[in-house]
Structure 1
Amino acid sequence: MTNEDVVSQGVSGSKVAGNGCVGQKSKENFARAQVVFPDGTSRVTIERDPFPLYVERGVGSYLFDVDGRRFLDLNCNFTTLIHGHAFVPIVEALTRQLQRGSCFANPTESEIELAELLCRRIPQVERVRFVNTGTEAVLFAIKAARAFTGRSKIAKVEGAYHGAYDWAEVSLAATPDNWGDPTAPKSTAFYSGTPASVLDEVVVLRFNDVEGVRRLLSVHAHQLAAVVLDPMPSRGGLIAPKPEFIAAVQEAARNNGILVIADEVLNLRQTFLGASARYGLVPDLVTMGKIIGGGLPIGAIGGRADVMKAFDASAGRPLLPQGGTFSANPLSMTAGLAAMRHLDHAAFAHLEMLGNIVRDGIGRAISNRGAPLCVTGATSLFRIHPMVQIPNDYREAHPTPAGATLMKQLARFFAENGIILPHGAVASISTPMVRADAEFVVDAFVGFLDRHQDMLDAIEGRG
């Protein structure tokens, strides 16, 4: 079934969401879940308003909840499902593989094929190592940089998400109360109990701060193993990097023997070659995940052959031992290979076309109504901000309390009108979407502006 069929007909008697965004069966499921999970959910990223929406199935770019209602999915499991739900080539490939076996202690040909595709496609990726998650990919990339350089510290951008590794989490959720001097950001803990030594080993940078990155990387040069950089940090605001910022990171790293780790777990979906190539970054290591697994758990570290040699166990114990019961499992390899083979230049052109329709349409609506909002993003990604000026970094993108309330109301309005819009996070477009879907998103946003003028006035202080 095509996405046009889902849009025009629905599926199996499903109904478009409305009259409240959470149905009775979802409420009942949440009551059951509270008995077995600490807060009723199995991961902190589950949104609730005030209950989570429980999903029964997905078709194309649409979700269907347990109450039978249909939603256009702009979350795509946090940008993972670039081909949407139940993509036929992936389903067929997985069905064949399941009949052969789900996992083995031995390698399979599928892992070679997926690695070959990544090495051919992604610049600077000469060797690959597969792991199970994006968190693991960043974790082992940092360890590889330490093993290669003999240094222990890392640098990272304030507000950027790189998974659940202690060092990578530093200053992920910094606030105006604790983020410190604008010229020398403070290392802040993400969770209670973070060792002080972890904070001491992370140099925090501000995104797009050219002079700051030059100074801080030089000051700490002899201790820094790597600078970890997402070319367009999603939680940092999904803001485009300034060319001079990318150049400054590159120059300071090269001059001081610091490795550059490009975290493309999310942003690999920006182009056929990934995000680094789009923005002129030439990394030593690249971390990947999400789209390269076709909807199954996956992570990968790729990069220069000499740096990746840290994993080499052919002559005995490697500089960096790395294993994992499910690393390179044939299901993830098979699904990822099917997904990536169908991400050709035409697919990326389609995604960018739809992304432009959404971003341009939202931008025009904001301009026409003089709303105190803006939109950022690129290609198949976008994010709406409760502020007039497009921010340059995480601090500028940090919403006021009134802005945060407005964004929550925006997500609620979208849900009530049949669209899953992530709250306070990046929204993503998938290949099964069509022009009508993109226009649906813009129309919903226009409806929100018309309905909530009082809240918009409060953001500008006109209320």
Structure 2
Amino acid sequence: MVGPSHIGQKSKDSFARAQRVFPDGTSRVTIERSPGPLYIKRGKGSYLFDVDDNRFLDLNGNFTTLIHGHAFTPVVEALTRQLQHGTCFANPTEIEIELAELLCRRIPNVERVRFVNTGTEAVMFAIKAARAFTGRSKIAKLEGAYHGAYDWAEVSLAATPDSWGDPIAPRSTAFYRGMPASVLDEVVVFRFNDADSARQLLSFYGHSLAAVLVDPMPSRSGLTVPNPEFIAAVQDTARKHGVLVIADEILNLRQSFRGASALYGLAPDLITMGKIIGGGLPIGAIGGREEVMRVFDASAGRPLLPQGGTFSANPLSVAAGLAAMMHLDHAAFAHLDTLGYVVRDGIARAISDRGAPLSVTGAASLFRIHPMAQAPNDNREAYPGPSGSKIVKELGDFFAENGVILPHGGAASMSTSMTRADAEFVVDVFARFLDSHRACWTT
């Protein structure tokens, strides 16, 4: 098997072995191949070490989850203590109360919390909660935004120029073969940062909408900062028509001590959380206004929305999450903000100095590099096309060849374990990539 030099022989051998037990040799579709996966042996701090003993600076962090990096000592210690007491119980534990209390203190509009196992479950139950609360079934969601593997949340996730339809009223498109047509009929799709069309569509369908599902800064739609006018249009129109606002902060909770909605002026009825609140272990959570969260209340009998799960609020995930969140204080976020600024500013300068047709977006500890000169404003503008996808893949391969894991086309993230020197190294590798492709930019 021939591939980039950063894929060592042991990784190649592991992939050959995996192809005998997995449908495509991997256990999730998000695994990157160049042409085969990089198999990891261990992680420590900012770095990953593969089975061939190569070291990589990790800008993926398991899709932005590992905000403290790998094997964070307080998390390891918390897990060690909990393992000695047991891994899971049918009964509740006091530590789940502590993590819920932290989230209620810290995140605006989170008055009650319910824990689940994944971000997908968090979004799924938030949508169900909105339906149970309003008695309506339809939802509205952003074109191209990822909200996990729930049919209604996947509508128009993979829309392309051939399928996305009208710019004012986008078409609801299937994500996979066999998605029921009835699901498409239940989802209204609108574009990120288009205040006028959001207001128009939410007003027209408002009487039948249970919720509008919004990622404050969706990664797959470009990792672009939301316009204040857009946020106001969504929120005000939803309120006018009795539509609940669900903020999906599973990825973007890492933007600040109080989350992303607080940064951008969004006051949601429900917030979905995950990734960083689990300290590197599987977790999800739904938080929101007490009135809405009562749909889960089983104290007087069967609730409006029954919700359970064998591993929901399991003590390992909760213990790891509590340790991670307790160490995400204001100083930690200031450090992350500095790292993110150094990378985004350095990348932007390198692009400008060389006149390369690329751009960079992001905020706080997040960034994304785009194969286009003008930074995109929404999902359609962020669509790379075949030539752009080729550049993005070459960029990811170049980074890996130089010891950095950069997600192909997704959100790259900094961790508290990184230093300013790490951030400057990322900029240096990017500048070298531009120099290696200088002929492409000047022809």
Taking the aligned partners of 2:391 and 2:200, their CA distance within structure 1 comes to: 37
Name 1:3's counterpart in structure 2. none
Structure-1 residue corresponding to 2:369: 384
Whole-angstrom distance in 2 between the partners of 1:176 and 1:415: 30
- 1:444 is aligned, of 429, 435, 439, to 429
Match of 2:173 among 162, 184, 188: 188
CA contact (8 A) 1:268 1:274 kept: yes
> What amino acid maps onto 1:334 in structure 2?
A
Q: Partners of 2:138 and 2:6 in 1: how far apart?
A: 45
C-alpha displacement of 1:452: 1.1
Q: Give me the whole-angstrom Cα distance separating, in 1, the residues matched to 2:375 and 2:24.
A: 35
SS of the residue aligned with 2:367? strand
Which runs of no fewer than 5 residues in structure 2 stay unpaired? none
1:51-90 aligned at under 5 Å gives the runs: 51-90=36-75
**Correspondence 1:420 to 2:405:** yes
Q: TM-score, normalised by structure 1?
A: 0.95
1:201 aligns with one of 154, 165, 186: 186
Answer yes or no: is 1:162 the counterpart of 2:132: no
Which residues in structure 2 correspond to 1:181-260 (within 5 Å)?
A: 181-260=166-245
The answer (yes or no) to whether the contact 2:343–2:424 under 8 Å persists in 1 is yes
Q: 1:404 aligns with which of 389, 392, 396?
A: 389
In the alignment, the residues of structure 2 paired with residue 166 and residue 452 of structure 1 have an alpha-carbon distance, to the nearest angstrom, of 41
Equivalent residues of 1:148, 1:310 under 8 A apart: yes
SS at match of 2:121: helix
In the TM superposition, residue 401 of structure 1 has moved relative to its aligned partner by 1.2
Matched residue SS, 1:302:
strand
The within-5 A match list for 1:274-353 is: 274-353=259-338
Match of 1:141 among 111, 123, 126: 126
Aligned partners of 2:133 and 2:295 also within 8 Å: yes
CA separation in 1, counterparts of 2:137 and 2:126?
13
Cα distance between partner residues in 2 of 1:93 and 1:137:
24
Which secondary structure state, in structure 2, belongs to the residue aligned with residue 347 of structure 1? Answer: helix
Contact 1:161–1:172 (8 Å) recurs in 2:
yes
What letter is aligned with 1:413? F
Q: Which amino acid aligns with 2:116?
A: V
| Aligned match of 1:104 | 89
Partners of 2:336 and 2:416 within 8 A in 1: yes
What CA distance in whole angstroms lies between the structure 2 residues aligned with 1:342 and 1:455? Answer: 45
Letter in 1 for 2:109: Q
The equivalent residue for 2:252 is 267
Percentage identity across aligned positions?
A: 78
Give the Cα–Cα distance (whole angstroms) in 1 for the partners of residues 395 and 236 of structure 2. 41
Structure 1 distance, partners of 2:337, 2:441, is 29
CA drift at 1:456 = 3.5
Residues 229 and 260, structure 1, Cα contact 8 Å, conserved in 2: yes
Q: CA RMSD in A?
A: 0.9
Cα distance in 2 for residues equivalent to 1:159 and 1:410:
23
Structure 1 residue 19 displacement after superposition: 7.1
- Code of the residue aligned with 1:238 in structure 2: it is L
User: 1:391 deviation in Å?
Assistant: 1.0
Aligned equivalents of 1:311, 1:115: Cα separation in 2: 15
Aligned match of 1:153: 138
Which consecutive aligned stretches of 4+ in structure 1 deviate over 3 angstroms post-superposition? Answer: 454-457
Q: How many residues align?
A: 441
CA distance in 1 between counterparts of 2:350 and 2:327 reads 34
- Contact 2:216–2:249 at 8 Å: present in 1 too? yes
How far apart are residue 400 of structure 1 and its match? 2.3
Name the SS for the 1:151 alignment partner. coil
Distance in 1 of aligned mates of 2:343 and 2:140: 34
- Cα pair 1:239 1:376 within 8 Å, conserved: yes
Q: Give per-residue Cα distances to partners, 1:58-79, cap 9 Å, x unaligned.
A: 0101000000000000000000
Pair 1:429-2:429 in alignment = no
Distance 2:279 2:245 in 1: 27
Give yes or no for the alignment of 1:375 onto 2:321: no
Q: What is the alpha-carbon distance in structure 1 between the residues aligned to residue 5 and residue 342 of structure 2?
A: 28
Q: Does the residue aligned with 1:181 lie in a helix, a strand or coil? A: coil
Answer whether contact 1:62 1:72 (CA < 8 A) is retained. Answer: yes
Is 1:144–1:307's contact at 8 Å kept on the other side of the alignment? Answer: yes
* Partners of 1:402 and 1:21 in 2: CA distance: 23
Whole-Å separation in 2 of the counterparts to 1:369 and 1:200: 47
Deviation at 1:338, TM superposition (A): 0.1
Q: Could you say what secondary structure the match of 1:454 adopts?
A: helix
Deviates more, 1:384-393 or 1:269-278: 384-393
| Distance in 2 separating the partners of 1:456 and 1:55 | 35
Partner amino acid, structure 2, of 1:357: V
Return the letter of the residue paired with 1:327.
Answer: S
2:154 touches 2:175 (CA, 8 Å); kept in 1? yes
| Greater displacement, 19-28 / 179-188 | 19-28
Give the match for residue 11 of structure 1. none
Q: Using the alignment, how far apart are the partners of 1:332 and 1:19 within structure 2?
A: 36
TM-score, normalization by structure 2:
0.99
